[in-house]
Structure formats: structure tokens, C-alpha cells
Amino acid sequence: MMLSTKQKLVISQCLLALLLFAIACLFFPYSTALLALVLMLILAGINIVLIPRLLQTKRQDFIANVAHELRSPITIIRGFAETLQDNPDLPKEQFLEITGKIVRTCLRMDRLARGLILLSDIERITPAKFQKVDLVALAAQCIEQLLAIHPKAHAILKTDLKTAPVAAEKDLLEMALMNLLENGVKYSAGNANIEVKIEKKGDALHCSVSDHGMGISPSDLPHIFDRFYAADKAQSRKAGGAGLGLSIVKNIVEKHGGKISASSQLGKGSLFTIVFPDSH
């Protein structure tokens, strides 16, 4: 007989409570251990009720966010399509302007769909697919790619390490670093000035990406890794963003056993720090 997820949760919570009860009997009076068992079963019941509800709420919030993100571009495309339908004899210049906006909006929807698929793919990747990747060499490669795309930007790598091996899926790690570097360019008013720093601190590798761009407000900073959140919505939409970039970066870093944090000052720039466990 196949057990449902809720049934498995009930059984596991009850077994845990009984195990702790048996241990408590060794050190405390039976009455005290019995009271503890009752309290643990009550807490288990609360968990059994609340966890599925929390998961359902998160699922509903995610669907609502996706629907919201799709509603805006669909409304734009529909509006322009109706304009073309109602005005078949528009001047060529105006016609090309409208169709160009439709194409750009479709591309934004495509980026949104690809981002959602990527988030799903990241969840399915297992550490068994990881290989040794030199973080120093990868960072240098990413900077080279960035400067090829944005030749007016200034980006440097600072490190005293010859190599910095991490267990990783190289393409995903490259994607995370490139996202942070691209953000440094995207959110800089003039020519971007970006610094990548890699250093070893204790048993961990620290990789930081800093810029001197427009910065992030204190109210936005706690939410920048949330899906669909854009601190500067106007700038994000202008650049074709879907509000998934930093969420994808966070998922990639955590999939590799690392942590990412951010600090920022408006008008002075931002600092993103990734901490990886040492692979030696």
C-alpha cells in the first residue's frame, strides 16, 4: 500500500515523539516523560496541519506571481495588436515601432519562461554531477566575457590564490557569476567599475563581486533574492529583466552548498559575497 505524503509525515512525527519519550524515560520520572510525550504529539499535530498549508500557500503565491508577471506583457501585446488591427494603414515608421515593441515584449516573456524552467532544472541537479572547478580561472573567464560584451566597462580580478577549487557544475556557476557581473553593468549610471575578489577565510572560499553603481535601498535589500522582485523596476524592465536573476543566483549557490549575501549603499554601489565550502 502506497502512503501519501501526509501519512508519511504523521508516521515520522509520531515515531520521533516515541523515540524522544523512550530517551526521556531514562533520565526523568515517568510522569515528566509522559507529559513531554503529550506536548511533542501536540507539536507534531500542529506541524502536520501547518506544513502542508504553508507549502500550499507558497505554491499559490508562486502561481499568483507568475500570473502577475505575465499579465503585464500580455496586456501590452494585446494593446499594440488591437492598434494594428484598427489602423491597417499606419505609416511604416509607426508600424515598425509598434511591432518592435511587441517583439521586445515577447522576448521578455520568453526570458521569464526560460528563467522558470531553469529554476526547476536547478532543483533536480544532484552533487553527483559536480566536478572540480577552479573558481579563480572561472572568474577570470567571466570577466573576459563581460568585457567582450561591454568594452567600456572596467572589471578586475583580485586574489592571492593561484587556484581555488570548488565542487560544482561549471555552467551553473558561470551563470551565477555572469549574472552578478552583468548586474554591475546594468545598474551603473556610466561606465561600470566592477571588482571580483577571491580569498580563503578559514575553511571557506569567499568570492565577492562589487560595483560602484546606483546601489540598493535598505527597504529593497532584504527582498532582492526573492523571485520576481526587482529593486529598480523601471531599470529592470528597460533592460528586459524578469525579476528572476538574483533568485537563480541564490538557488545555484545554495545547490553548491554555499551562501550568498548582499550589502549596498544608495549612490555608492553594491557588494555580493558568495561563501563556498572548501573542496580540498
Which amino acid belongs to residue 82?
E
Pick the CATH number of 130-277 from 3.40.50.1820, 3.30.565.10, 3.30.830.10, 3.40.50.150: 3.30.565.10
Where are the chain's structural domains?
1-124, 130-277
- Backbone angle region of 243, left / alpha / beta, with phi > 0 → left and psi within -120 to 50 → alpha: left
For residue 6, report the phi and psi dihedrals to the nearest 5 degrees. -65, -40
* Rg of the Cα atoms in the chain: 25
First CA to last CA across the chain, in angstroms?
A: 45
pLDDT tens string 201-256: 988 999 999 999 888 889 888 888 887 666 554 444 444 445 677 888 898 899 88
Residues of the chain falling short of pLDDT 50: 1, 3, 46, 48-51, 54-55, 233-241
pLDDT at residue 202, as a whole number: 87
Number of H helices, E strands in the chain: 7, 7
Q: From CA 181, how far away is CA 224, in angstroms rounded? A: 16
Q: From CA 145, how far away is CA 136, in angstroms rounded? A: 14
pLDDT at residue 211, as a whole number: 93
Q: From CA 186, how far away is CA 236, in angstroms rounded? A: 8
